[in-house]
Amino acid sequence: MSASNTEWDVQLQSFLNDGFSRLPREPQKGRDIYSGYLRGCGLRFGNIGALCLADPVFTKAFELARATAPDGQPRTVVNELNLANLFAIMKLNLSRQPIPGHIVEYGCLRGGSAIFMAYAAKHLLPGVRVIGFDTFAGLPDTNPNTDVYDRGAFDTVDLDELRSYVASIGLDNLSFVKGTFDATLGTALPGIGQVCLAHIDCDIYDGVVSAYELTKPYLSPGAYLVFDDPLVPTCIGAFEAVEELLVRRDGLHAEQIFPHLVYRHPD
């Protein structure tokens, strides 16, 4: 089967034909399950990966995101499938309508995934800014009951160098805020206004809790909440935060479960 959208002809393996024909095309339970299946199955059982690799915006964004940082490591450790899904959300969904808000990322490390989204947004979502939040000094205090990581895990990042690199590649729609989420979001988010996409890449319980709770009042109707870590073996704490807050308390239903968790803020 195929589904055409914004210059992409998404092709899925034939065994999915009957199931897709039954799926609702209108949002239900606060999610667009057809779009979630299309993206996830398109990556696992279709041609979205190939479409990304043939798309000059994706390939350039990926090249910039994977560029070597001064420490010799690539600027992003987010895997290609997850980046492809972020790109698919932007191309297949957000680009179809006026964008009510900007993009935020929680957990930037060397800045690669924020760079990826900023380059894609510059070409697909004119006027949309990307703001990345991180301590840039490794993880803050972690919860020993749920988190396998300790305080300081992950690298310290030279934020001045990162900002210089971003300026050198012309991404004037990307900025970074240094500090813990509890210390920075209360001041920064009112100035950003509405958020249409939150990429939450925090690894630990408290990070996910703070990112979600503090961003929730600024989410535009139908905004995307993309969680990079909860399905990763080392991030049960991040999954516990999703279980407790989004599922049990707020009653949200996932729109997508592969290659990472995607939820929607109810309309």
- The DSSP H or E segment spanning 22 is helix 17-22
Q: Would the pLDDT of 4 be above 60? A: no
Q: What does the mean pLDDT of the chain come to?
A: 92
Class of domain 2-264: alpha beta
pLDDT in tens, 179-237: 999 999 999 999 999 999 999 998 889 999 999 999 999 999 999 999 999 999 998 99
SS (H, E, C) 103-157: EEEECCCCCHHHHHHHHHHHHHCCCCCEEEEECCECCCCCCCCCCCCCCCCCCEC
Return the domain boundaries, the chain.
2-264
Give the burial string for 1-30 (b: 16+ CB within 10 Å, else e). Answer: bebeeeebebbbeeebeeeeeeeeeebeeb
> CA-CA distance, 174 to 184, in Å (whole number)?
17
Average pLDDT rounded to a whole number, residues 58-71: 96
pLDDT at 115: 98
pLDDT in tens, 174-195: 999 999 999 999 999 999 999 9
Nearest to 216 by CA among 191, 250, 256: 250
pLDDT in tens, 106-121: 999 999 999 999 999 9
Q: What is the pTM of this model?
A: 0.94
Helices (H), 193-250: 205-215, 236-241
